[in-house]
Amino acid sequence: MTPELEDLFSFLRFPSVSTDSRHAQDVRACAEWLLAKLTAMGLTTELHETPKHPVVVARNPQVPGRHTVLVYGHYDVQPVDPLNLWTSDPFQPEIREGRIWARGATDNKGQMMAHVLGVEKTLREHGELPVNLIFLFEGEEEIGSPNLASFLLHHCDELRCDVIAISDTGMVAPGVPTLGYGLRGITCCEAILRGPKGDLHSGLFGGAVANPAAAMARLVASLHALDGRVAIDGFYDHVRPLEDWERHMWSHVPGVSDADYLQVTGSPGLFGEPGYSSAERLWARPSAEVNGIGGGYQGEGSKTVIPAEAFVKLSFRLVPDQTPKDIMEKVKNHLEWHCPPGVQIEIRPGHDGKPYLTDPNSKYGLAAQAALRAAFDAEPVLIREGGSIPIVQTFRDILGADTLLLGLALADAQIHAPNENFPVVNFEAGIRLNQALLAELAK
């Protein structure tokens, strides 16, 4: 195994699950390991406390007149549940079929470590970097980065930069370098419907009182029209239309046809807002999704009850020029108006983040394209991303810098799911990409 893979494997062994308080010490231990790695590379390092998990910052000597590049990543990971669906221990990384299998392999430890090791290799070969570098690594991205905006506000002067680079997004297909220039925003909530004071016998009371589970099914069904459009009043009011050049460009991007999405997802069919391709729906149209739903008896066999309550967890992906506050207000109005009679509703807002869009052909965008071309020896494609990185727009708002989204993840990476994986060739390409990117940005 190469020294680079050994470093990544050490990083992956930390169960740095930020959402689970039982792993708080593991998250901290992971941050401290990362701090020691960056210090050993000769960078000046800092560990900053937050109300939850620490932020790691590292710098090279800052030379006046050079471009300043901030590289962001996150060292926290998603929970591993359901554990029984993993084919190997999620925190004991393995290489099989040319891929690294572990929680965080792609999201985000593998992509992030590629940047770290690219810097280490440049320092080893040249003794210095061609730019002023700032590494900013957090441990709360998977819970919505609740403390990072405050950290940026308090440290904005020392974090000022010309451009930001993030590898926490995807490639459209193997071997196809991909520059993302947009992200969907997000806003989340949970709705709870409550009926009787406790579970009731469905024979003695069925038909006499409202069933919260049945009411929830009706409420959830009200979110979409039969053709797939979101049925929330005013949901599309501020959606910025797709540009003609984008629709033309995306129609030629490999790996994102309807057939490709069917193969990757394993779904029996595609479904969504009419009038758009799957790629257009994912990259430039908003959506409403049920992330979890439940209520009543969940065990084996029958238990004839009317449940006392039911719940649903919802997320809404947003596009320019939608805002989380406006959409959540519309969602609340919709849920309250469509709440069936006989039950009471409680709505609990969750985390949110703004959508992001920039010019892929700015001077920094062109530099990123040149770096991708050099790292992969192929022409890059330009896309928006369907996922959300809420901090990206916050970076722009506070630091005044745009972000280059240099994804290395493949569609079948299984991020947030069992058997997360990362191709070794993508990890190695990421190291080359970092070296090429810093050289191009220095010009």
Q: Would you state the structure tokens that stand for residue 37, as one six-digit string?
A: 């790695």
Give the whole-number percent of the chain exceeding pLDDT 90: 97
| Among the listed residues 215, 217, 205, 216, the one whose alpha carbon sits nearest the alpha carbon of residue 306 | 205
Q: What rounded mean pLDDT belongs to the chain?
A: 96
| pLDDT for position 432 | 98
| CATH match for 3-183+355-442 among 3.40.47.10, 3.40.630.10, 3.40.190.10, 3.40.50.720 | 3.40.630.10
SS3 of the chain: helix, strand, coil, percent, to 5: 35, 25, 40
Quick check: helix, strand or coil at residue 361?
coil
Domain 185-239+286-353: assigned CATH number: 3.30.70.360
pLDDT, tens digit, 9 for 90 and up, residues 8-25: 999 999 999 999 999 999
Among the residue ranges 188-192, 265-269, 287-291, the one predicted with the least confidence is 265-269
What is the residue whose two structure tokens read 């320019």?
Answer: 320
| pLDDT for position 144 | 84
pLDDT greater than 90 at residue 214: yes
AA identity, residue 420: E
| pLDDT for position 390 | 84
The pLDDT confidence band at residue 264, using thresholds 50, 70 and 90, is: confident
Q: Cα(155)–Cα(177) distance, rounded to whole angstroms?
A: 33
pLDDT, tens digit, 9 for 90 and up, residues 26-77: 999 999 999 999 999 999 999 999 999 999 999 999 999 999 999 999 999 9
Task: Determine if the peptide bond prior to 260 is cis (ω within 30°).
Answer: no
| pLDDT for position 1 | 87
- Give ranges for CATH 3.30.70.360 in the chain: 185-239+286-353
What is the Cα 169 distance to its own chain's centre? 7
pLDDT, tens digit, 9 for 90 and up, residues 300-325: 999 999 999 999 999 999 999 999 99
| pLDDT for position 212 | 98
Residue-level length of the chain = 443
- Give ranges for CATH 3.40.630.10 in the chain: 3-183+355-442
